[in-house]
Amino acid sequence: MGSVGRWLRSFGAFWWDFIVGDDWRVAAGVVAALAVTAGLAAARVPAWWFLPVTVLVLLGMSLRRSIRHAGNR
Amino acid sequence: MRDVLLVLAVFLACAVEAVEALTIVLAVGVSRGWRSAVQGVGAALLALAAIVAALGSTLTFVPLGALRLVVGGLLLIFGLGWLRKAILRASGFKALHDEDAIYARELAAARAAGRTRRAAVDDWYAFTLSFKGVLLEGLEVVFIVVTFGSNQGSIPLAMLGAGIAVVLVTVVGIAVRGPLTRVPENTLKFAVGVLLTSFGTFWGAEGAGAHWPGGDAALLGVIAVVAITALVFVALLRRAHDRRVPGSPPVTEPVEAV
C-alpha cells in the first residue's frame, strides 16, 4: 500500500472512530430507529415515543456488551 | 429554556475537553518551554475557529428538518458513547480518567524527545504536541458548538458557552499550575452524555417528522427520563460489579448530580 493509501486509511479510521466510536451497533441502531420513526410519522401514526424507547434499549444493550467484554478479558 | 440548556451543554462538554487539553499543554510547557507550546495552542485554536466558521455557514443553508434529522442522529451516537463510558466508570467497570497519571506520562515523553527547529517554531516537538492535543480535544467541542448552534439558530450563543469554559479552565490551570485533578470529570461527562442524548432524541424525532406532545417542553421530560434511566443503570451495574469483585474498594466517584 502506498503512502496515499495509508494516509486515506488512517484518515478514514480517524473519522470512523470519531463519529461511530467503539460500538458500531449503537450507530446502526440509531439510524434504524430514525428510519422507523420517519415511517411511523409518514403513516400518520404517533411516532414521538419510538426513538426515546429505542435509545434507552440501545444504551442497555451496549452496556451489557461492554460488561461481557470486560468479563471475558 | 432551550437556550440555557444549549449554553450549559456546550459549557460542560467544553470544560471536560479543555481540562484534557490543558493537561497535555502543561506537560509540554513545563518540560520543553512555553513559547512553542503556546504557538501550538494558538495554531490549533485558529484551525478550530476556521472549522466552526466554515461548517456553521454551510449548515445554515440546509433545510431545518433535514438538519435536525442528521444532527439529531449524530448527537445521539455521540451522546450514547459519552453516557455509556460515564456509566461504566461510575459503576467501576472502567477506570476513571486520571489527569495526574496522564500528566506524568506526557511529561516523561516530552523530556525524552529531541529538539528540532522549523520556520518560526523553536521546538517542533512541543509545537506539534500542543497543536494535536488542542485540535483533537477541540474537535468534539466544535461538533457540539456547530450542531447545537445551527439547530437553535444561534452559533454565537454556543460559542459563548465554549468560550466561558476555555477561559475558566485556563485561568484555574494557570492559578493551580498543574493538571486539574479535582474537577469531577466523570460527573461532567455523565451530564454531557445525558444532554447530548436528550437533544439528539428530541431533534432526531422532530427531523423524522414526529410531533412531541407539549412541544418544546417535552425536551425537559426527555432529559429527566434519560437521566433517571442512566442513574438506574449506574446503580444496577454497581451492584453487579460488587457481586463480581466482592469487597472491592470503591473505585468510582459518585454521580451525585446531573
Work out the minimum CA distance from B91 to partner chain A, whole angstroms: 11
Put simply, the answer to whether B139 touches A18 (Cβ < 8 Å) is yes
Q: Choose between B82 and B227: higher pLDDT.
A: B227
Q: Which of A21, A50, A63 sits opposite B237 (nearest CB)?
A: A63
Chain A residues closer than 8 Å to B72 by CB: 34
Rounded Cα distance between B223 and B31, Å, is: 43
| Residue in the block written with cell 477506570 | B95
* Interface predicted TM-score (ipTM) of this complex, two decimals: 0.89
Percent of chain B predicted with pLDDT > 90: 26
Query: pTM of the full predicted structure?
Result: 0.79
Write out pLDDT tens, residues A34-57.
Answer: 999 999 999 999 999 999 999 999
Residue B77: partners with Cβ closer than 8 Å, 6 or more residues away: A19, A20, A21, A26, A27, A30, B200
Let me know: does B79 contact B200? Beta carbons within 8 Å. Answer: yes
Contacting B with CB below 8 Å, chain A residues are 18-23, 26-27, 30-31, 34-35, 37-38, 40-42, 46-48, 50-52, 55-56, 58-60, 62-63, 66-67, 70-71
pLDDT digits (tens, 9 = 90+) for B77-100: 989 998 999 999 998 888 776 667
Q: Do A51 and B204 touch (CB under 8 A)?
A: yes
* Contact flag A67-B230 (C-beta cutoff 8 Å): no
Q: Looking at CA atoms only, how far is residue B115 from chain A in angstroms? A: 26
Contacts of A60 in chain B (CB under 8 A): 233
Task: Give CA–CA dist B62/B150, Å, rounded.
Answer: 10
Neighbouring residues of B156: CB distance < 8 A, sequence distance ≥ 6: B149
| CB within 8 Å: A30 and B240 | no
Q: CA quadruple A4, A10, A11, A12: dihedral positive or negative? A: positive
Max Cα–Cα distance, chain A, nearest Å: 53
Q: A63–B211: do the CB atoms touch at under 8 Å?
A: no
What pLDDT digit, counting tens, does each position of B167-190 carry? 898 888 888 766 666 667 788 889
Residue B58 per-residue DSSP state: H
Q: Given phi > 0 = left and psi -120 to 50 = alpha, else beta, which region is A21?
A: left
Contacts of B68 in chain A (CB under 8 A): none
Chain B residue with CA closest to A38: the answer is: B208
